[in-house]
């Protein structure tokens, strides 16, 4: 690009460069032989000088009144306030958006359903392991061939059998089954202790102390 | 920034509002500033956009001469002061009538002293377009001022 337009004159960009001194006049030979371009350049320089004023731009004819130093203090305060206000408005806008029925109702319904489900699940008592109605299979001697054969039950001189017989007559098996089912969940032992009477607790304590004072118990601990 | 805004709107009240708006926008957009241009160029871009939006929304109100109380006039005679104020008012009115891009280019070049490359960066155009805009802005100003010697 030689800086001339289709009429052969200098382009606006080149004239601006010449007027501002970015390009030297002697570097553009066209200027020496074109009165129109010289005139255009002279007018451009005159207008620039008029707009800028005599010399330095800050002393020009359309200089800006300098605001007082207090203006800058107030400006920073105003900007801070605007930022805070926008933040508050943003939070309010967020709440407003979330409080719209179309948004809030499905969310509220979901949260409520989840909460109800959680409560129902947590409050449902654990299903106790059912005690089989049929007696558990007794180990057969074929499984443990090394053990001696069991003594036949019902020997009349066995005191343990007499004790069991007493228990058997006084104990309701259905009640025992329910009781066993009730204490099968975690924490059931604590609950059972709480339900004991004072005499029963004292007896339990005595039995435990007796058990602990035995040499085998101490040795184990 | 205040000076840039004042060049566009021509009065202290709007210029201070605009300056506040520019810094507020800059604060909000600072996290999005990627350093592709200098911070000053980025600020000028915000400022020019804010000013162009403002002046396109309403005609600027140019202050009366007596309202310009903050100019340093200690070395001026009263007559010189009046002449300078009259000249400034005429130029401001003429600049206010320029098309937005020419106006922005002229203000940034003549009063903010940005280079043509910086102005191109601010306005998002080419350097050649900036120089052409500047040329036409000066030509239009000459016509608006009626060829009178200021």
Domain ranges of chain B: 2-144
A55 is a domain residue:
yes
Q: Which residue of A has its CA nearest to B146?
A: A47
Residue-level pLDDT at A66 = 76
Closest to B16 (Cβ–Cβ): which among A52, A63, A71?
A71
The residue with greater pLDDT, B114 or B60, is B114
A135 is a domain residue:
no
Residue-level pLDDT at A1 = 45
Closest CA to A15 of B93, B37, B135: B135
Both A31 and A54 in one domain: the answer is: yes
Residues near B142 by Cβ (< 8 Å), separated by ≥ 6?
A43, A46, A47
Q: Which of A3, A43, A60, A62 to mutate to test the interface with B (most CBs of B within 10 A)?
A: A62
A133 is a domain residue:
no
Asked whether the beta carbons of B113 and A57 are under 8 A apart, the reply is: yes
Both A44 and A76 in one domain: the answer is: no
Both A97 and A76 in one domain: the answer is: yes
- Rounded to a whole number of angstroms, the distance from the CA of A99 to the nearest CA of chain B is 26
| A213 has a pLDDT exceeding 70 | yes
Q: In degrees, to the nearest 5, what angle opens at C-alpha B52 toward C-alphas A87 and B97?
A: 150
Residue-level pLDDT at B65 = 42
| A56 has a pLDDT exceeding 50 | no
CB contact under 8 A, B70 and A67: yes
| B150 has a pLDDT exceeding 60 | no
Coil vs helix vs strand at A61: coil
CB contact under 8 A, B139 and A47: yes
Closest CA to A51 of B134, B122, B81, B119: B134
Q: Residue B4 and residue B21: Cα distance in Å, rounded?
A: 13
Q: Residue B100 and residue B9: Cα distance in Å, rounded?
A: 12
Exposed/middle/buried for residue A49 (C-beta within 10 Å: 0-12, 13-18, 19+): middle
B149 touches chain A (CB under 8 A): yes
Q: Residue A180 and residue A188: Cα distance in Å, rounded?
A: 10
Asked whether the beta carbons of A32 and A50 are under 8 A apart, the reply is: no
Q: Which of A54, A61, A66 to mutate to test the interface with B (most CBs of B within 10 A)?
A: A61
Residues spanned by the domain of A30: 12-59
Torsion angle of the four alpha carbons B19, B25, B30, B31, in this order, in degrees rounded to the nearest 10 = 170
> A110: pLDDT confidence band, cut at 50, 70 and 90?
confident
Q: What is the mean pLDDT of chain A?
A: 70
Query: Of A43-47, A89-93, A137-141, A203-207, where does mean pLDDT reach its minimum?
Result: A137-141
Task: Please name the residue that has the structure tokens 């020019």.
Answer: B48
Residue-level pLDDT at B35 = 77
B87-126 residues touching A, CB cutoff 8 A? 87-92, 95, 106, 110-111, 113, 116
CB contact under 8 A, A15 and B24: no
Give B-chain residues touching A78 at CB under 8 angstroms: 20
CB contact under 8 A, B110 and A52: yes
Mean pLDDT throughout A38-58?
Answer: 76
pLDDT in tens, B12-44: 888 888 888 888 888 888 877 777 778 888 889
Residues near A36 by Cβ (< 8 Å), separated by ≥ 6?
A9
A10: DSSP letter? B
| A171 has a pLDDT exceeding 80 | no
Residue-level pLDDT at A132 = 58
Residue that is last in its domain, among A123, A148, A164: A123
Q: Residue B114 and residue B103: Cα distance in Å, rounded?
A: 14
Both A81 and A119 in one domain: the answer is: yes
| A221 has a pLDDT exceeding 50 | no
Mean pLDDT throughout A156-172?
Answer: 67
The residue with greater pLDDT, B75 or A47, is A47
pTM over cut 0.80? no
Query: Of A56-65, A115-124, B130-139, where does mean pLDDT reach its minimum?
Result: A56-65
Q: Which residue of A has its CA nearest to B144?
A: A47
Both A53 and A81 in one domain: the answer is: no
Mean pLDDT throughout A128-149?
Answer: 57
- Rounded to a whole number of angstroms, the distance from the CA of A93 to the nearest CA of chain B is 17
Closest to B88 (Cβ–Cβ): which among A16, A17, A61?
A61
- The CATH fold assigned to B2-144 is Arc Repressor Mutant, subunit A (1.10.10)
Coil vs helix vs strand at A4: strand
pLDDT in tens, B102-135: 999 999 998 888 999 999 999 999 999 999 999 9
A128 is a domain residue:
no
Query: Of A191-205, B18-32, B89-103, where does mean pLDDT reach its minimum?
Result: A191-205
Mean pLDDT throughout B57-84?
Answer: 59
> A97: pLDDT confidence band, cut at 50, 70 and 90?
low
Asked whether the beta carbons of A45 and A15 are under 8 A apart, the reply is: no
CB contact under 8 A, A15 and B141: no
> A215: pLDDT confidence band, cut at 50, 70 and 90?
low
Domains of chain A: total: 3
Q: What is the mean pLDDT of chain B?
A: 81
């Amino acid at each position: 690009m030689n800086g001339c337009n289709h009429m052969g004159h200098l382009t606006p960009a080149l004239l601006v460069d010449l007027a501002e001194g970015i390009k030297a006049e002697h570097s553009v030979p066209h200027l020496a032989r074109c009165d129109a371009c010289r005139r255009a350049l002279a007018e451009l320089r005159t207008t620039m000088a008029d707009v800028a004023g005599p010399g330095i731009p800050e002393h020009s004819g359309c200089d800006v009144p300098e605001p007082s130093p207090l203006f800058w203090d107030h400006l920073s305060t105003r900007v801070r306030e605007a930022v805070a206000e926008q933040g508050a408005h943003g939070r309010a806008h967020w709440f407003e958006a979330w409080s719209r029925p179309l948004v809030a109702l499905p969310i509220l319904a979901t949260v409520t359903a989840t909460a109800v489900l959680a409560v129902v699940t947590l409050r449902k008592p654990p299903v106790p392991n059912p005690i089989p109605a049929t007696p558990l299979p007794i180990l057969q001697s074929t499984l443990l061939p090394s053990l001696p054969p069991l003594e036949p039950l019902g020997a009349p001189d066995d005191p343990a059998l007499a004790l069991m017989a007493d228990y058997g007559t006084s104990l309701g098996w259905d009640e025992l089954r329910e009781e066993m089912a009730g204490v099968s969940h975690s924490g059931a032992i604590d609950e059972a202790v709480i339900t004991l009477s004072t005499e029963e607790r004292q007896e339990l304590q005595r039995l435990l102390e007796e058990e602990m004072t035995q040499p085998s118990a101490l040795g184990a601990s | 920034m205040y000076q840039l805004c004042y060049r566009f709107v021509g009065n202290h009240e709007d210029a201070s509002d605009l300056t506040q708006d520019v810094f507020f926008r800059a604060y909000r957009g600072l996290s999005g500033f990627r350093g592709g241009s200098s911070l000053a160029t980025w600020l000028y871009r915000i400022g020019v956009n804010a000013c162009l939006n403002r002046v396109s929304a309403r005609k600027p109100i140019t202050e009366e001469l007596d309202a310009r109380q903050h100019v340093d006039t200690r070395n001026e005679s009263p007559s010189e002061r009046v002449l300078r104020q009259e000249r400034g008012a005429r130029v401001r009115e003429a600049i206010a009538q320029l098309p937005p891009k020419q106006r922005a280019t002229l203000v940034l070049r003549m009063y903010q002293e940005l280079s043509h490359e910086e102005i191109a960066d601010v306005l998002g155009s080419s350097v050649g377009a900036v120089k052409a805009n500047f040329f036409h802005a000066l030509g239009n100003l000459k016509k608006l001022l009626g060829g009178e010697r200021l």
